[in-house]
Amino acid sequence: MADSRTGGAAPTVLRVVLGKRLQHLRERAGVTFEQAARSLDVTHATIRRMEKAEVGLKVPYVEKLLRTYGVSDPEEIDGFVSLAREANQPGWWHRYRDVLPEWFSVFVSLESESEVIRAYEPHYVPGLLQTESYARAVLRAGMPHAPEAEIKRGVALRMERQTVLTQEANPPLLWAVIDETVLRRPLGSPDVMREQIDHLIQAIERPNVALQIMPFSAGPHPAMYGPFHLFRFPLDELPDMVCAESLVGAVYFDQRDDVSVFLEALDRMSAQAVPLVRTRAVLSALRKEI
């Protein structure tokens, strides 16, 4: 996971791609971590962390490494360097650094560069679909000690994240499965819940919002242990990434065998949940019960 002490904040997806490319070039050239490290006069851990996108890519390092890996075409080097510069630009979410733990800023960066975001949420309406009052109630429940100002900032961040779904250029597809619990456990007040459900009914009209409900009646399903997200990026060479959340942080997976387990769980859940064409009817029925 990224280390905030390096000032490296969350990697953009681009940094992840470049890290993977560096790794690929190094392996192709048959260069070990130690050899690469010697060429930069750094420790091998630094090389490892560059490849894993845990640190920013310093331009002089990148240039030297490419040469060590036998890349001599100046155009290729320039291209790589300009991508590295771009990857070091902070994302919009850096303005929220005060309320954004490191693990979550990774999450926001992945979310904002995805083509498809799949999610399983057993307890809450997914952040991208929350209303302001609902978001406030969620944040308050999760952070009972936080001063009001912090909750406010958290809500603002969440609202800003949501613009990704309505952006003009290639908004991602959000495909989420939520548990029936989400709609039944009262959060905030009945008004907050009703407003939230109305908001969902509106949101699913968008072609890029697919929300499925896993009813109690469906019985057990493969992901009952907890919430997670799967991100897919528009670049084919980038692996899908999974973020499995917990109270104090998150674990990210990008190895195919790990990711597949989550993918299979999501696929099975999507088949087991109420089919999308009936989401609207279920939401309307539940709204009446509040």
Partner 1 sequence: MSEAGFSPDQIDTTRPHPARMYDYYLGGKDNYEADRDAAERILTALPDVGVTARSNRDFMHRAVRTVVDSGVRQIIDIGTGIPTSPNTHDVARRMDPGVRVAYVDNDPIVAAYAGAKLTNSGNAGFVLADIRDPAAILDHPVTQDLIDFDEPVALVLLAVLHFVTDAEDAVGIVRSLTERLPAGSHLILSHGTADFNQSDGFGKVTKVYNEESTSSAQWRSGPEISAFFEGFELLEPGLVQLPLWRPDGPVPSGADLRRHMGYGGVGVK
Query: Residue 276, interface with partner 1 (CB under 8 A)?
Result: yes
Stretch that binds partner 1, among 38-46, 59-67, 160-168, 272-280 (CB under 8 A): 272-280
Cβ atoms within 10 Å, residue 275? 10
Contact 107, 93 (CB under 8 A): no
Coil/strand/helix, residue 188: coil
274 binds partner 1 (CB under 8 A): yes
Report if residue 277 touches partner 1, rule: CB under 8 A.
yes
Residues that contact partner 1, how many (by CB under 8 A): 38
Q: Which residue shows structure tokens 């690929």?
A: 24
**268 forms part of the interface with partner 1 (CB under 8 A):** yes
181 binds partner 1 (CB under 8 A): no
Instruction: Note whether 28 and 39 are within 8 A (CB).
Output: no
Regarding 219 and contact with partner 1 (CB under 8 A), the answer is: yes
Residue 275 as a binder of partner 1 (CB under 8 A): the answer is: yes
Q: Which is nearer to partner 1, 36 or 197 (CB)?
A: 197
CA distance 161 to 83: 24
Q: Which of residues 109-128 bind partner 1 (CB under 8 A)?
A: none
What would the 3-class secondary structure string for 107-123 be?
HHHHHHCCCEEEEEECC
Kindly state the smallest distance separating residue 273's Cβ from partner 1, in Å: 5
Tell whether residue 149 is a contact of partner 1 (CB under 8 A): no
Cite the beta strand spans of 192-260 per DSSP E: 209-214, 228-232, 241-246, 249-253
Q: Please give the Cα distance from 286 to 290 (Å, whole number).
A: 7
Which residues here bind partner 1, judged by CB under 8 A? Answer: 173, 175, 180, 207-208, 210, 212-213, 215-221, 232, 236, 239-240, 257, 260, 263-264, 267-268, 270-278, 281-282, 285-286
